[in-house]
Amino acid sequence: MIEIRPLAGWPGSPPSAGDTQTLTALWERCGLTRPWNDPNADIRLASSCENAVILVGWQADAPIASVMTGHDGHRGTVYYVSVDPGHRGKGYGRLMMDAAEGWLRDKGIWKLNLMVRADNQAAVDFYRALGYAVEERIAMAKWLDPAKNPQNRQETA
């Protein structure tokens, strides 16, 4: 079983270097990191926001599952939904999403929108099993800091 609680430090103070390191290692094992996206910066920012939280599923003080959730005052979303490869198929992913949904409901948020990469059919099937449905929308995005755009960065050229 896992114990779900926010990453130490939330809200308002940065989590410990050790927790940050073990969490980013989990995300790497789960294939959720990208070269152009610094997970440490993501942890720092989410940990400093009252309207966001990183919920971690701990087993013997080791993070084996996670979800970053938050809201913009209207809708909720999730990122970094992960379960360690050695612990999948035990219902932990569902427990993490239940926890994220509960956190959002407590804030008065009644709808959660999430995005899945087009090549991640397993995640689509997981979310469908949890009651999520595909809604026909066009997802648009703009880099507010052009320096963060991988297309503008030499190392990705």
Distance CA 27, CA 81 (A): 9
Asked if residue 11 has a cis previous peptide bond (ω within 30° of 0), the answer is yes
Phi and psi dihedrals of 79, rounded to 5? Answer: -135, 170
Piece of 48-56, 76-84, 98-106, 144-152 that binds ligand COA (CB under 6 A)? 76-84
Nearest to 42 by CA among 34, 147, 83, 85: 34
Using the rule CB under 6 A, give the single segment among 50-58, 99-107, 122-130, 137-145 that binds ligand COA: 122-130
State the minimum distance, in angstroms, from the CB of residue 136 to ligand COA: 18
Q: What are 28's two structure tokens? A: 């790497």
**Site residues for ligand COA, window 128-157 (CB under 6 A)?**
129
Among 13, 21, 40, 120, binds ligand COA (CB under 6 A): 120
The residue within the footprint of ligand COA, chosen from 76, 93, 99, 101 (CB under 6 A), is 93
Residue with tokens 């990705």: 156
82 scored as a contact of ligand COA (CB under 6 A): yes
Instruction: State phi, psi for 43 to the nearest 5 degrees.
Output: -65, -45
Phi, psi of 52 (to 5 degrees): -140, 155
Least CB distance from residue 80 to ligand COA, whole Å?
8
* Residue among 8, 14, 22, 32 that touches ligand COA (CB under 6 A): 32
3-state secondary structure of 30: coil
* 88 near ligand COA, judged by CB under 6 A: yes
Residue closer to ligand COA by CB (options 91, 102) is: 91
Binding ligand COA (rule: CB under 6 A), the pick from 5, 94, 111, 153 is 94
Measure CA 117 to chain center.
13
